[in-house]
């Protein structure tokens, strides 16, 4: 592992996201602090004992409830809005407990236990096509869309069957609005897309690049808000995910699987999130963000809005992720 990336910087320091201004404290020394709760994400604390192994010897153990996302249980969910074929592989329906009026569930496959990284590339492409279908529907209604995936309780998932979610609205406050506003300001000042500029710098720098394919680049942002956070950008500038071509979809499916497998290998299949930020208009550049849940929020994050990345520098995190991905066939 290279030490040169760390020598020029103090051990603990602020880094500011150049687009949004969000502050991150790089404080990798904190990873050595004692942990009595088992919740800060060390590898030896994230493994889980299956519930079935705990209750299988108990005569009083309740029978598991049927999963509403499994094939054959379609009557347990709202009506189907989209499915890839009659004998479905991917199915979409309204969320029973919506965040907003337009909130949908995308079931990744009939398999209760296989997630994106466990499926075939063709099966992942079918998930991406479902995303594109729902994005097209809502864009036609002049609504913005957020697509996101939560895996595990720490990441916000309440059901184990792998699935993603789609939320649509006339607009989203918070990070999305901030990105749009800052991207426009950046373009007006530099006559260039912020993300294109950032991507070019990362490719030249190389230290924070995790994976580069024909159509995409994945890197750890210098001002990462969360240790081992990754960002995926299409090399072709476009504000919307909606215009992704078939060759790009297959490339994206492969990259997506490798990125998620890297988290599995480094952190023993952690709870994790990813999200797709996509807009209809320039000067936006659609992208995907990823985080593994290997730490918990502290008062500084919640009370002051300052992120603490305490597990690894951006450069070291990228090197570890890159090395793991290099072992995949």
Residue 214 contacts residue 251 (beta carbons within 8 Å):
yes
CA distance 53 to 44: 19
Active site residue 163: yes
* Residue 217 CB burial class (10 angstroms; 0-12, 13-18, ≥19): buried
Q: Where are the alpha helices (DSSP H) in the chain?
A: 4-7, 43-46, 51-55, 121-140, 175-190, 194-205, 246-267, 299-304, 314-326
Residue 183 contacts residue 303 (beta carbons within 8 Å):
no
- 161 labelled ligand-binding: yes
Closest CA to 215 of 261, 247, 256: 247
Burial 194-211 (b: 16+ CB within 10 A, else e): bbbebbeebeeeebbbbb
Q: What angle do CA 268, 2, 320 make, to 5 degrees?
A: 15
- 197 labelled ligand-binding: no
- 224 labelled ligand-binding: no
Beta-sheet pairing, 272-278 with 91-94 = unpaired
* Residue 163 CB burial class (10 angstroms; 0-12, 13-18, ≥19): buried
Q: Which of 163, 277, 285, 287 is catalytic?
A: 163
Strand order in the sheet with 306-309: 12-16, 23-27, 306-309
Question: Residues at the annotated binding site for Zn(2+)?
Answer: 67, 70, 112, 161
Instruction: Give catalytic residue positions.
Output: 163
């Amino acid at each position: 592992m290279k030490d040169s990336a760390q020598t020029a910087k103090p051990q603990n320091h602020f880094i500011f996201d150049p687009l949004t201004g969000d502050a991150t404290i790089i404080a990798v020394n904190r990873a050595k602090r004692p942990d009595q709760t088992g919740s800060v994400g060390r590898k030896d604390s994230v493994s889980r004992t299956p519930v079935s192994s705990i209750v299988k010897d108990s005569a009083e153990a309740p029978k598991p409830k049927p999963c509403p996302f499994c094939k054959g249980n379609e009557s347990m969910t709202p009506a189907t809005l989209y499915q890839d074929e009659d004998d479905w592989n991917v199915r979409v329906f309204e969320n029973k407990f919506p965040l907003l009026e337009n909130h949908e569930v995308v079931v990744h496959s009939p398999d209760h236990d296989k997630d994106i990284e466990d499926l075939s590339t063709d099966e992942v492409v079918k998930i991406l096509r479902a995303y594109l279908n729902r994005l097209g529907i809502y864009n036609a209604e002049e609504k913005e869309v957020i697509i996101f995936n939560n895996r595990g309780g720490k990441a916000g998932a309440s059901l184990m069957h792998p699935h993603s979610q789609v939320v649509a609205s006339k607009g989203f406050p918070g990070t999305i609005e901030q990105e749009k506003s800052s991207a426009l300001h950046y373009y007006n000042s530099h006559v260039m897309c912020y993300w294109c500029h950032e991507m070019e710098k990362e490719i030249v720098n190389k230290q924070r690049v995790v994976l580069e394919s024909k159509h995409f680049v994945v890197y750890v942002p210098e001002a990462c808000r969360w240790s081992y956070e990754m960002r995926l950008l299409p090399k072709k500038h476009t504000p919307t995910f909606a215009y992704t071509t078939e060759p790009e979809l297959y490339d994206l499916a492969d990259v997506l699987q490798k990125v998620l497998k890297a988290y599995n290998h480094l952190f023993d299949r952690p709870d994790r999130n990813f999200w797709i930020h996509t807009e209809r208009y320039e000067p936006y550049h659609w992208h995907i963000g990823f985080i593994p849940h290997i730490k918990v929020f502290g008062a500084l994050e919640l009370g002051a809005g300052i992120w603490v990345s305490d597990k690894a520098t951006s450069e070291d995190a990228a090197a570890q992720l890159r090395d793991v991905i290099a072992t995949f066939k």
